[in-house]
Amino acid sequence: MAHSNGTSDTQALDALDFSDAEHREVVIIGTGPAGWTAALYASRANLEPLIYKGPEPGGQLTTTTDVENYPGYPEGVMGPDMMQHFEQQAVRFGTDARYGTVTDVDFSERPFRLVVDEETPILANAVIVSTGASARYLGLENEQRLIGRGVSACATCDGAFFRDEEVLVVGGGDSAMEESMFLTRFASKVYVAHRREELRASQIMQERAFDNDKIEFLWNTEVIDVLGDEQVEGVKLINNETQATWEKPVAALFLAIGHTPNTEIFEGWLDMDDAGYIQTKPDSSYTNIPGVFASGDAQDHVYRQAVTAAGTGCMAAIDAERWLSEHPLEDEAGSTKEASDTEKPAPAAA
């Protein structure tokens, strides 16, 4: 378990004048399903939340076409459309939604100090982190162009679209094996391209994959291009030992090479695991800093679904509302809103 080290550099914040900064009860960072759900619940609790949309408004779902596994959409829904519905519902109840990215934080005392787009100071009595995680891609031009059109980083989300088709998975860890086996429920054939000649996956996951007749491994093999105009029609592969290249027709390319949580700005403040996922206290959204709550894929490396992210966003808003009612802060006018100095949080020690 990795802990924050308490050595966060606040030099960038100290250069800004917070004396006249906008002061909000709750600031929500990030607008995927977790952030918008937190905003909806916080709004309905009369907390008048301010939410920043971040560098990827709507989160990973904005790169997804059809979403068929979210309750309430019997005919399915386009990912961007669903995120627009989330936003409309939150705004209807009073959420202040703004474009901008929180680029720096200071959680040493309340009100917490935030910087937006490296220039705008904001004060917050409580903060909900819902910055999500980003799937790792290969970085190929055509791969990026065809995301949502056969290129996917989520077999659970998109596997059912490729019934009786041949697909290819990139990866060699447990996640890649899980994705590959899940895909065999739908696909007629699942190729697994791995750049080495042995897997990193646990022994039991390897055995399960090797025993599955629908899975075929392509060792020492890397994807160097994705083929297709409007949708994936195949991939170009290279054997990194012989340098031989060839094309393989497939209907989909699934990336299973991991996710990166978007939590860099919280390093040194919030407890994280070794991969950078924020650690929350059991059965809650509480972090190690009182008044800072985490939800969605920024703290979930297991499920990574829209519906579970929304659930933790709900938890974070409820936790924040209850915590704020128990820890009021005094505003500048002296109205009852302040915790005593002894309650001011500080970064956790290493």
Q: In the chain, what percentage of residues exceed pLDDT 90?
A: 77
Q: What is the CATH number of domain 137-255?
A: 3.50.50.60
Per the annotation, the verdict on 157 as an active-site residue is yes
Domain made up of 11-134+259-326: CATH architecture: 3-Layer(bba) Sandwich (3.50)
Contact (Cβ atoms closer than 8 angstroms) between residue 339 and residue 347: no
* Confidence at residue 51, expressed as pLDDT on a 0 to 100 scale: 98
Which member of 104, 106, 158, 297 is catalytic?
158
Nearest CA to 123 among 14, 20, 10, 48?
20
Which member of 106, 157, 297, 319 is catalytic?
157
Per the annotation, the verdict on 158 as an active-site residue is yes
Residues of the chain with CATH 3.50.50.60: 11-134+259-326, 137-255
pLDDT tens for each residue of 304-320: 899 999 999 999 999 99
Q: 350 versus 167: which is more confidently predicted?
A: 167
Per-residue pLDDT band for 331 (boundaries 50, 70, 90) equals: low
Which member of 154, 271, 314, 319 is catalytic?
154
Nearest CA to 42 among 335, 339, 325?
325
pLDDT tens for each residue of 31-60: 999 999 999 999 999 999 999 998 888 888
Asked if the model's pLDDT at residue 242 lies above 60, the reply is yes
Q: 253 versus 332: which is more confidently predicted?
A: 253
Per the annotation, the verdict on 314 as an active-site residue is no
pLDDT tens for each residue of 203-223: 999 999 999 999 999 999 999
Residue 146, C-beta contacts closer than 8 angstroms, at least 6 positions apart: 226, 228, 231, 232, 253
Return the minimum-mean-pLDDT range out of 3-12, 191-200, 238-247: 3-12
> Rounded CA gap, 190 and 305, in Å?
23
pLDDT tens for each residue of 261-313: 999 999 999 999 999 999 999 999 999 999 999 999 999 988 889 999 999 99
Residue 69, C-beta contacts closer than 8 angstroms, at least 6 positions apart: 156, 157, 305, 307
Return the minimum-mean-pLDDT range out of 194-198, 288-292, 321-325, 336-340: 336-340
Residue 338, C-beta contacts closer than 8 angstroms, at least 6 positions apart: 110, 328, 329, 330, 331
Work out the average pLDDT over 189-198: 96
Q: Which residue has the tokens 């250069």?
A: 15
> Rounded CA gap, 213 and 217, in Å?
11
> Rounded CA gap, 335 and 331, in Å?
6
Residue 244, C-beta contacts closer than 8 angstroms, at least 6 positions apart: 238
